[in-house]
Chain A
């Protein structure tokens, strides 16, 4: 069944988009991530303009992270103080990212910047995850107990001034590294069109030593807040959010996420980390090939809104 998307200006098969929503939702539910880094490339692949894809995926990620955040809120497994501090840094980061986005687009180098940042970021994060997951699996097979986190050694940046108490996470740390992490996530989110959950969770665990109990819920709240504001911003400034596309995506996404979450609970966490790492690496290498291989056509068109 074909449906014409009003903002994207193309007809798409409803069932194809619904299936994409389900598949990405399943993966995001399984790993507790937003899935923007998978959905945006998929939409571009079926012919949606990159700008519309990025903007509409923010709405989709807002929906799936909201349903996730509700579940964690009900279990009291999120840290609002931490989420709001991260958000404060994130807003500034987003503004910087949007400015860079606009500047690079005018220079015809946006595609390159997006490609390079996907390769670098997904490459590094993917390798770290695969390495860490593999080591944990090997340890589990050898019957050794898992390495305990929170060895008590506090990193120097947690001792910076502007100390804040994050009650739910049981940490007392400087707001500066928290704001900085928020800034990085917001900046990358605006440039790459990703929620940044796959990046935020490891940063919170390894740098801020946030306990596992609150880390996913807090990341979901932050993702929801940044993605909701990104939706409103994209809609108000660029008029690029396709509500019809977003609705089909989120309908598939929220259902897929529920099944994904159930499947995720049946898999051991170190295997989960290894699988997610491999997935991240796969997407990263796809972008790497795109940069290195000779493109099918050396020429490309960019429409100029409102004249040259």
Chain B
């Protein structure tokens, strides 16, 4: 009787916990893998299309799917400063160095993250900005600080610049298995390589994931100027100085009155 109960429980657990491998497959693609920054660039919205494919062997899942897409930009270290009043004026008195936080971080999903997965799963999968590690430099050591006001300020300021964003309405299911995710890239996004990590959830568990990448690059005249400034700084400096002199000279000739 006891043994039968344990066996039944085990069987139920097996059914619920360990799903047959690759019962669902996630296929996703971006509309564009290269975002070009030209002289009239003012930001762009990138679209990710995807579909949940069943392998046909297992029964079709009856429950709804959830999608969470995390877009991570190039990583760059930064310093957070906090002002305090010293002798009547506001002075930066404290600072923290964050080691390689993403310069862009967007998490889009079809409904709020806490209704997609539980606390433990979100922490484990680093789902959402609150559960993304942002390590700091602490006395030549790199680690995370619990309940850090500097971390909160970093996230808040990045939100304000449109560089960090969490949108629980960013993913729409067009059919029960076909979805579309919108990724907003504001004008201030840094150039470089971006990764898109798409996770498929059902009943609070991640059942499939896939990833994709895209690049934000400057092209044409923009690229020419940036490369000239970066690789031939001295020459670029002389060229701009010459440009200043020519402009000044043209003005003095054009407005000459004697």
Contact between chains at A10 and B80 (CB < 8 Å): no
Other-chain contact of B251, A67, A228, A235 (Cβ < 8 Å): A67
Given contacts A108-B95, A304-B79, contact A241 B251 (CB under 8 A): no
Closest Cβ of chain B to A117, distance in Å, is 13
Q: Is A273 part of the binding interface, using a Cβ–Cβ cutoff of 8 Å?
A: no
Total number of A residues with any Cβ neighbor in B under 8 Å: 62
Provide the bound-state CA to CA distance between A237 and B150, in Å: 31
Other-chain contact of A6, B83, B226, B249 (Cβ < 8 Å): B226
Contact between chains at B154 and A241 (CB < 8 Å): no
Given contacts A74-B258, A302-B79, contact A62 B137 (CB under 8 A): no
* Contacting residues of chain A (32-88) with chain B, CB-CB under 8 angstroms: 59-60, 62-71, 74
Q: What 0/1 pattern do residues 266 to 280 of A give for CB contact below 8 A with B?
A: 000000000000000
Q: Is B76 part of the binding interface, using a Cβ–Cβ cutoff of 8 Å?
A: yes
Task: Give the A-B pair count, Cβ closer than 8 A.
Answer: 191
Other-chain contact of B42, A2, A232, A294 (Cβ < 8 Å): A2
Where chain A touches its partner, the secondary structure class is: helix
Other-chain contact of A307, B77, B82, B153 (Cβ < 8 Å): B77
Q: Is B40 part of the binding interface, using a Cβ–Cβ cutoff of 8 Å?
A: yes
Provide the bound-state CA to CA distance between A298 and B97, in Å: 16
Q: Which of A128-136, A154-162, A167-175, A254-262 contacts B (4 or more CB under 8 A)?
A: A254-262
Q: What 0/1 pattern do residues 221 to 234 of B give for CB contact below 8 A with A?
A: 11101100110011
Contact between chains at A235 and B244 (CB < 8 Å): no
Contact between chains at B92 and A291 (CB < 8 Å): no
Provide the bound-state CA to CA distance between A224 and B124, in Å: 60
Given contacts A235-B237, A243-B236, contact A295 B78 (CB under 8 A): no
Closest Cβ of chain A to B37, distance in Å, is 6
Q: Is B126 part of the binding interface, using a Cβ–Cβ cutoff of 8 Å?
A: no
Closest Cβ of chain A to B36, distance in Å, is 11
Which B residues are in CB contact (< 8 Å) with A224? 248
* Contacting residues of chain B (199-239) with chain A, CB-CB under 8 angstroms: 218, 221-223, 225-226, 229-230, 233-234, 236-239
Which B residues are in CB contact (< 8 Å) with A213? none
Contact between chains at B241 and A308 (CB < 8 Å): no
Interface size class of B (residues with CB under 8 A): 35 or more
Contact between chains at A232 and B237 (CB < 8 Å): yes
Q: Which of A176-184, A195-203, A245-253 contacts B (4 or more CB under 8 A)?
A: A245-253
Closest Cβ of chain A to B100, distance in Å, is 8
Q: Is A124 part of the binding interface, using a Cβ–Cβ cutoff of 8 Å?
A: no
Provide the bound-state CA to CA distance between A302 and B80, in Å: 6
Which A residues are in CB contact (< 8 Å) with B88? 292
Contact between chains at A308 and B39 (CB < 8 Å): no
Contact between chains at A298 and B84 (CB < 8 Å): yes
Q: Is A7 part of the binding interface, using a Cβ–Cβ cutoff of 8 Å?
A: yes
Other-chain contact of A2, B40, B137, B222 (Cβ < 8 Å): B40
* Contacting residues of chain B (73-132) with chain A, CB-CB under 8 angstroms: 76-85, 88-92, 95, 97, 99-100
6 CB < 8 A contacts A-B = A59-B244, A233-B237, A241-B236, A297-B157, A299-B81, A300-B92
Q: What residues of chain B have their CB less than 8 Å away from a CB belonging to chain A?
A: 37-43, 76-85, 88-92, 95, 97, 99-100, 137, 150, 153-154, 156-158, 187-188, 190, 218, 221-223, 225-226, 229-230, 233-234, 236-241, 243-245, 247-252, 255, 258
Known: A66-B252, A295-B83, A307-B100. 7 other contacts (CB 8 A): A63-B244, A231-B244, A232-B241, A235-B233, A299-B153, A300-B81, A300-B92
Closest A-B pairs by Cβ, 4 of them: A235-B237, A66-B248, A254-B251, A299-B153
